[in-house]
Amino acid sequence: MRIEKFLNSIKTSSPGWEPGDNLATLQLTDSLVGQLNAWVVERAHKVKRLRDEFKVAWGAAMLLAGARATQRLFHDNPDARLEYANIGVMLGIDGLAQHMNTDAWSAIEVGARQVWGVRLMRSRTAARRVLETMLLHSGALWPLIEALTDEVERSWSWESLAQADRQVIAAWMANHAKLLQVREGLRAALGDEDTRLELAEHLTRFAEVRAFLAQRDARSLARSALTGVLGAPDAETACALAARLAQPATTAQTEWRWDSKNGLDRLVLRLPNTITVPSAGPEQHRLFLGFANGTITVAYVRQGDHYERESGLSSLPLPRATKFPATILAFEAQGEFEVPYVEVDAPAEPVGLFDADTGAQLSTAPAGTTVVLVCAPGYRLGAPENFKPRNLAGMDAWSCKLPEHAQMLTMYCPDGSAEEWPLEPKALPLRIVFEPPHVLGLAFGRAAAYSRFPRFFVDGDIHTFSYRLTGPAGELSGDLRNRLVRPAQKLAAIPGRYRLEVSAHGRRGFAHFVIMPEGTALTSRFDSRGTHIIISGDELALLTHAHEHTRALTLNPSVHGQLSIDVVWRRAGLHGAYSIGAYPPRVEVRPAADAEATDERTFELLLGCGGLQIDGPPGIGVRIFSGEAIFVRHLDSTGHRFIRFSELPRRVLQVGDGGLRIRVHVGNWISETLHFTRRTDRRLNVTPEMRAGTWYVRTKLPDSPPVYIEFVNAWAPWTPAQRIEAKVVSRDEEGGLYEVPVPASGRPYQVTAFSRAERIAGMGLICSHAGRPTAPPGLDLLERLLWEGTERRRELWRDAIDRRLAKHREQWVFDTFKTLRRYGSRWFKIAEHLADAMVYLRLGALVAPIEEPDDVEAVFRELDWPLARVRYSDFERVEPSDPVVALRRIAEWNAGLLVPAFLKWDPRDRYMDVAMLLAPLHEAPRLLSSTEINGVCSPEAEGMRNSVRSTASGRLAGLVEIRRKHTELSDDADLRGLIVRDDDVVGVHPRLNAIWQQAIPPDARALENAVVHVTERVHRWRAGGPVLPKLWDDVRVLQRSAPILFDYWLNRWAAEDSTP
């Protein structure tokens, strides 16, 4: 048999294989492999002397034989090196490296393209191109692909990857190569930049496949793409990865509905009753779903491994200016957890049909039904006069009655072209779903661009259909089963525009696509300098606003959002558009839109009403760094996010002597360091002076008038402050000397300065005479302590606060918190003593909000008061209206409060409502099984995430958590100091002696030992004992580093102490 026929027989004996698919999916028997190897070996030493047609055949055969040899090589020796010598041994060719010369490489490249329809990898040298192509088409590269997939899910996101360019993805691979769980031979492949770029393109295809998995019947498309593009070892492996890339099953239950209640036209997204959030841990008890750019949310409560929707709101209205695909975020109300939950597309393209009465989305409806037609973004209907426009922001919508007979409407597409769209009675046109386009973003009208005939299926409950394909290559028609198909194998893929028409059950549908010339590609990337677009190939050109043709274009960095750039294909007479996202990353500081002040000079204004305006690719993760602290959020569907400084956690807003320094990472792009100085950290220098029997205070400030001085009664900070405009006494280059009269002489005041609405200084203490006078009679004990300002004993302060509470109730407390929040707690001696006495107010405000919770919580946050700093007696002073809701909120804090709260509030008549919250805490510390120890040692192993989340042991979940964060925790200097101190001073805690297992990693054992020591000290303090030095510093470190383990042990101390 001639070699050409032999290679063709291999292709025809592999059902489903098509040119361009991975060679690993070709079905070869041992006999065929033997014949192939023999033919290749016989001619390997004389490639140069072969006729041209035999060179092509030998190159194709050598690529396939080398791929199969590579497959066997890594199967026999997983640590083998990818070298010609090793492949030659597997093929039986001595000195193969000597025969792999320019002629052989050229023959393999041409044979790969002409026979198999594949191209070689893009490595810099021909030798590496051939070797790495053999590796790709051997299927042996699959473990590396799976490892990269794991790493994307662990440290990045598919949404962000889909928006990144290949250079960014390749750089990410280089940074994360050492973290991949693969053998060194495969890891070494990432050392070559061109290989990383090639793999980056494949990961981008993964992201495209993942997006298509949200569509009905798209699983076959995903399996085919995974197998064809990357060479999954078998269909079962491809199915498993397709299922893994797919959104959770419950996300498919989201559905669009039309809502016109109360005369307001809008689209709403109905959410499922049950959801799963794979990246949420046991500590995320209550989550909210909402659009990234929306304000309305739907609440869910954890029930085992899933979340159930709370009663009440079940749908999310579509926010204005939403861009599709739109991201739905899952996040905590009072926490830092925020992840993309699902991306949703517009209801339909180009037109969605809704029942005007019920709001349901329709695929069929009888004539005379009143319906609403909602166009996808960018599309417009040329509606006749009897159609009624609907007021839907950002989308074209019309209501009408379905006609008795088909009615053709004009559809205006996003690129400005116009097409006919049929509105037929009883049914909408059939929708044809194509595989992702080969040239992303390029379309001619509604026709996407492909390098070969695309696969497709018909959406809906259709089993068989008829089709007709017409275009430059001719015409083809027939009947097909409704599955992923490519019916044009009998036609040559001649470049040009094609029309595909399908029909079934009396319904018709049609679509267009364009086959592009070989070598055509459009690429775009963006950075801080702007968005760069390049066309590869000779036939296409970009059309600029000046009507000039170019193959390279750079857009200004101020251009942000989705763009459409005209494209001309002159030989085919086609005009199209290249749609891209221009999302250059940018970070700037600005006041909030609702801010009253306009002066941006100081940090105080930003703390009050300012924040960070961050721009970049839609849905991408944003990390805000301040020192070692990290805060993570995601951009909305338009690529924007304004994050108020007031939303940032206390640990991020740590202002040192040099001010505050913040860096922002938008994906892999890093902003310049933002440096803020805080003028209000510096004490206001004031000088009292008496003239004509009146006391005045003077201070020098660099600010221009008007300047105001506010006086706060030092002995009664709960009373209103007095504000007086200061007069300018003199001015020089350094500023002005301001003077203001003291409201009442003989009294101590805390004073500060404002320039209009902006506070421009810290506070200063003044007494309008020499020294502080003796407290006047009539003051209570607390007022005297504040007047004198020298008392340090906590017990006396607590007694004074309790006495005043007994006489004046709590309003003065709220007024004091308001003062502390406005001016800063550091300037008032009462701040920490009042917080210590009023912890129960904070607890009550968090579980059952009261009128003034904002001021109370703000002061506690400014004092950096740990949530765990609550005495057992504080629970007796809180009476939540709904104990179950209160316990759910408390469980979210990981502060060891759930068990003491349950014991004090005793909701035993509703025990089943909180049983899932208490389940991880029920089990006493015990020896771990070998399976559990394996989970602790390898927390990222397949299956460990779900099994750990479903366990009843909070201790096991805590140990797995700290092992997952091993790298991060090993760099934490505060944590290392705490562990070393406890190890050196007190050793292993007696509570751990019986369950101390050497098989548990040493770092996990040492950290758990520190947790047990610290939580026991907190437990004894809660019960009325003394506070030990550095206790609350240790608590802050452990709550940040090991929240689940800290929460478990602190709750266990409370549970075991209450056991009779």
- Work out the average pLDDT over 455-460: 81
* pLDDT value at 577 more than 60: yes
What is the pLDDT, as a whole number, of residue 234? 59
Q: What is the pLDDT of residues 778-795, one digit of tens each?
A: 888 988 888 887 777 888
pLDDT at residue number 1020? 93
Among residues 792, 742, 798, 800, which one has the least CA distance to residue 768? 742
**pLDDT of 622 higher than 70:** yes
pLDDT for the residue 740 = 93
- With contact defined as beta carbons under 8 Å apart, do 856 and 841 qualify? yes
The token pair that represents 320 in the structure block: 């204005």
DSSP bridge partners of 268: 257, 317
Angle at CA of residue 271, ends 621 and 917, nearest 5°:
80
pLDDT score at 592: 66
Name the residue with higher pLDDT: 20 or 893.
893
What are phi and psi for residue 954, nearest 5 degrees?
A: -70, -30
For the stretch 151-178, pLDDT in tens is 787 667 776 777 677 777 887 787 777 6
The share of the chain scoring above pLDDT 70, in percent, equals: 85
Q: How confident is the model at residue 249 (pLDDT cuts 50, 70, 90)?
A: very low
Estimate to the nearest angstrom the gap between the alpha carbon of 681 and the chain centroid: 35
By mean pLDDT, which of 151-160, 324-333, 502-511, 854-863 is the weakest?
Answer: 151-160
Max intra-chain CA distance, the chain: 121
pLDDT digits (tens, 9 = 90+) for 1007-1031: 999 999 999 999 999 998 888 888 9
Going by pLDDT thresholds of 50, 70 and 90, the confidence category of residue 550 is: confident
| pLDDT confidence band for 242 (50 / 70 / 90) | low
pLDDT digits (tens, 9 = 90+) for 212-223: 555 544 444 444
Is the pLDDT confidence value at 370 over 60?
yes
**Above pLDDT 90, what percent of the chain?**
12
Q: Is the pLDDT of residue 1050 over 90?
A: yes
Q: Is the pLDDT of residue 252 over 50?
A: no
The one-letter amino acid code at 415 reads D
Question: What pLDDT is attached to residue 240?
Answer: 63
**Of residues 278 and 754, more confidently modeled:** 754
CA distance 519 to 436: 18
Q: How far apart are CA 179 and CA 156, in angstroms?
A: 13
**H or E element in which residue 729 lies:** strand 727-732
- Tell me how crowded residue 79 is: count the other CB atoms within 10 A of its CB: 9
pLDDT at 120: 81
| pLDDT at residue number 851 | 45
Check residue 193 and give its pLDDT: 75
pLDDT of residue 708: 93
The answer to whether 445 and 413 have CB atoms below 8 angstroms apart is yes
When comparing pLDDT for 494 and 547, which is higher? 494
pLDDT level of residue 130 (50, 70, 90 thresholds): confident
Q: What would the pLDDT profile of 944-995 be if each residue is shown by its tens digit?
A: 444 444 445 789 888 888 887 776 677 677 788 888 776 666 788 888 988 8
Rounded-to-integer distance, Cα 429 and Cα 1000, Å: 62
pLDDT of residue 604: 52
Distance of CA 879 to the CA centre of its chain: 38
What pLDDT does 236 receive? 61
* Pairing mode of beta strands 735-741, 722-725: unpaired
Asked if pLDDT for residue 184 goes beyond 50, the answer is yes
Q: What is the pLDDT of residue 916?
A: 78
Domains of the chain: 3-136 (no CATH), 142-245 (no CATH), 250-344 (no CATH), 351-427 (2.60.40), 432-515 (2.60.40), 521-582 (no CATH), 588-620+641-679 (no CATH), 682-767 (2.60.40.10), 919-1058 (no CATH)
Given a cut of 90, is residue 871 above it in pLDDT? yes
Determine the average pLDDT of the residues in 812-832: 88
C-alpha span between 975 and 1007 (Å, rounded):
8
Average pLDDT over all residues of the chain: 80
Q: Is it the case that residue 246 has pLDDT exceeding 80? A: no
Position 224 pLDDT exceeds 60 = no
**pTM for this entry:** 0.47
**Paired strand residues for 735:** 732
Tokens, residue 1037: 């470190």
